[in-house]
Chains A and B, each alone.
Chain A
Amino acid sequence: MILQTKNIQKQFTEGRETFTVLKGIDFSADRGEIVSLEGPSGSGKTTFLSILGCILTPTTGEVRIDGEVVDARKLAEIRKRSLGFVFQQFNLFPSLTAVENVEYALNVKGVRGREAQVEAERVIEAVGLADRKNFLPRDLSGGQKQRIAIARALAGNAPILLADEPTANLDSVVGTQVLELFRDLAKKENRALVIVTHDPKVRSIADRVVKIHDGLLAA
């Protein structure tokens, strides 16, 4: 198992009230596996994704990546080394070209110079946007932006890819194309892919569908 959680609970305190968003989740994903994480709004799926992505820490329970328990003091380091993100709003840097967006992410991960350029161009080509590599995000369509976001997540060989509603801002046809591309690349490069979604189309590319309801995984 490349990704595993045990009894994840998460509580938030607002004023005097404490809310339990996650109530004990056991989850796992393998390399090359695509998991669709579904659930209604407020079910806790984005919180769970944030914990899987080492952005939030659980109140209790543990996350293991490649067998090692995640150390809460080294979250940034783990994100750098093991995780790639794709966001609903793409979150590209508007002042950087497509290829620079990818290259910058590599720079943050410690890959620099020629090595970063070669890797950035490789993944841009893999998502089919070699001819748009020098375009700024504002000059790209929604689908193209999401492809660049996927390229950014793929760059640097992180074994786990996490996507938050990757098709939410795309029309149906483009959404399907992006998902198929995502699936092909994740499979080809043997990465675990967890997609949080409302979109039923995601099921068509998923190996497994996991439902989350009121902070618990549904059977």
Chain B
Amino acid sequence: MAVDLATKSLLHDKLRFFITVSGVAFAVTLVFVQVGLFLGLMDNASLTIGQIDADLWVTSHNTPNVDFAHVFPETYVKRVRSIPGVEKADNLIVWFMNVNLPNGAVEGTEVYALEDFARWNFPHGVIEGNTSDLRRGPYFVLDDSAKKRWGAFGVGDYREILGRRLKIIGRTVNAKSFTTTPLTFMDFRLAQSVSESQLRGNTTYILVKLAPGADAVKIREEIRRRLPYNDVYTKSEWAQRSRSYWIDSTGLGLNMYITVFLGCLVGIVVVAQTLYTSTMEHLKEFGTVKAIGGGNRDIYLILGKQATIAAIAGFVLGALMAYAIAPAMAKIDLKLIIPTQFFAIVFVGSIVLCLSAAMISFRKVASIDPALVFRG
């Protein structure tokens, strides 16, 4: 065991250590929160695509994302169903409709309409009622996120959607879209009749489930041949397209990159500044290390270790802060998604960032004249 000058020296000045760690923690928290929020929003952008058990999605031509759908004839589904290798294919309507609330306000809802929700294992998170009852009458199921904009509601209440009085027969949780408009689930035919002028005889998507072992590429090509004025996407392509639309059109991606960059920049500046000031204040000590026979390498190891300790402590503090913030974010319907791999990336990034910051001090140390130890 050798005497750990790096750690002892770093912890000797507790205020400076705290400032250094705070700089890293700030950067780490910012990165986690920004990226977590971004991933949360992106998850919302393709949440329903992920939940619906379809292998292929047929959309109208150039539909930019799952929310902004356009209509095409519902009979197209028959052309898809007749393709060998297609296990099942159904129409899906995704459509924005206005809701008249009891207080006289008008709000929007994003309607998902299917003939048989259970067939597509959708929606997830039904906490009250049963989607199979939707076919029995003018009913709908509403996600709990609507409470924020629509006010309190319960099963058995009525709401007026596009002038039609419909009964709430169930509730879901965690059904969300990027637009933050509350999601409503209703029978396919009911949706067509509620928005008759636009949806009568039409659909907005065809969901396709392939038979086990079916050749997805061939079936996709066949759908394209039979429906030349529609687009066909795999589940992952469609999810990616929906996410990309929001990233590109809202500048969300650029905003995230800029914030993450600024967070890292602030972190690196704070760490570099505190390490450099510390190095300047300890020049005589480093000169002493050289005078007693140490080399630049010994001092680089001290600075490198100090930077690594600051990185690890800052990472832990920053990660804890991000986790502490997550419940508060959830209360305002903001989801923070931090994948495990991202933890590893930020951890390594923190160390790289701190070691980079220490490089400025390395340069200073390399030029130390050990003769300075003789100066009073």
Q: Which residues of A contact B (CB under 8 A)?
A: 46, 49-50, 53, 55-56, 76-77, 79-81, 83-85, 87-89, 91, 93-96, 100, 103-105, 107-109, 112-113, 116, 152, 164-165, 168
A89's contact among B5, B11, B294, B376, by CB below 8 Å, is which? B376
Taking CB atoms, residues of chain A closer than 8 Å to B8 are 93, 95-96, 100
Decide: B374 and A164 in contact? CB cutoff 8 A: yes
A19 smallest CB distance to B (angstroms): 15
Decide: B293 and A79 in contact? CB cutoff 8 A: yes
Encoded as 1 (CB less than 8 Å from any A CB) or 0, chain B from 250 to 263 comes to 00000000000000
Decide: B292 and A108 in contact? CB cutoff 8 A: yes
Taking CB atoms, residues of chain A closer than 8 Å to B295 are 76
Which B residue's beta carbon lies closest to that of A80?
A: B293
- How many residue pairs between the two chains, A and B, have CB atoms under 8 Å in the bound complex? 81
Which A residue's beta carbon lies closest to that of B290?
A: A76
Taking CB atoms, residues of chain A closer than 8 Å to B373 are 55, 85, 87, 91
**Is B12 an interface position by the 8 A CB rule?**
yes
Once A94-B12, A95-B5, A95-B12 are accepted as A-B contacts, the answer to whether A53 and B291 lie under 8 Å apart by CB is: yes
Cα–Cα distance between A100 and B2 once the two chains are bound (Å): 9
**Is B3 an interface position by the 8 A CB rule?**
yes
- For this complex, 24 residue pairs linking A to B, each with C-beta atoms less than 8 Å apart, are A49-B374, A53-B291, A55-B291, A55-B370, A76-B290, A76-B293, A79-B292, A80-B292, A80-B294, A81-B293, A84-B292, A87-B373, A88-B374, A89-B284, A89-B376, A91-B287, A93-B5, A93-B9, A93-B285, A95-B11, A108-B293, A108-B298, A113-B2, A116-B2
Which B residue's beta carbon lies closest to that of A112?
A: B2
B294 smallest CB distance to A (angstroms): 5
A45 smallest CB distance to B (angstroms): 10
Taking CB atoms, residues of chain B closer than 8 Å to A83 are 293
B3 smallest CB distance to A (angstroms): 4
Q: Which residues of B contact A (CB under 8 A)?
A: 1-3, 5, 8-9, 11-12, 284-285, 287-295, 298, 370-371, 373-374, 376
Which B residue's beta carbon lies closest to that of A101?
A: B3
Cα–Cα distance between A109 and B289 once the two chains are bound (Å): 10
A100's contact among B3, B11, B376, by CB below 8 Å, is which? B3
Given contacts A96-B3, A112-B1, A116-B2, could you give 19 more A-B pairs where the C-beta distance is less than 8 Å? Answer: A46-B374, A50-B371, A55-B374, A76-B293, A77-B293, A79-B292, A81-B293, A88-B374, A91-B284, A93-B288, A94-B285, A95-B9, A95-B12, A96-B5, A100-B8, A104-B5, A107-B2, A108-B292, A109-B293
Taking CB atoms, residues of chain A closer than 8 Å to B292 are 79-80, 84-85, 105, 108-109, 152
Taking CB atoms, residues of chain B closer than 8 Å to A116 are 2
A142 smallest CB distance to B (angstroms): 14
B244 smallest CB distance to A (angstroms): 53
B92 smallest CB distance to A (angstroms): 67
Cα–Cα distance between A91 and B8 once the two chains are bound (Å): 16
Cα–Cα distance between A81 and B294 once the two chains are bound (Å): 11
Cα–Cα distance between A91 and B369 once the two chains are bound (Å): 15
Cα–Cα distance between A214 and B180 once the two chains are bound (Å): 85
B245 smallest CB distance to A (angstroms): 56
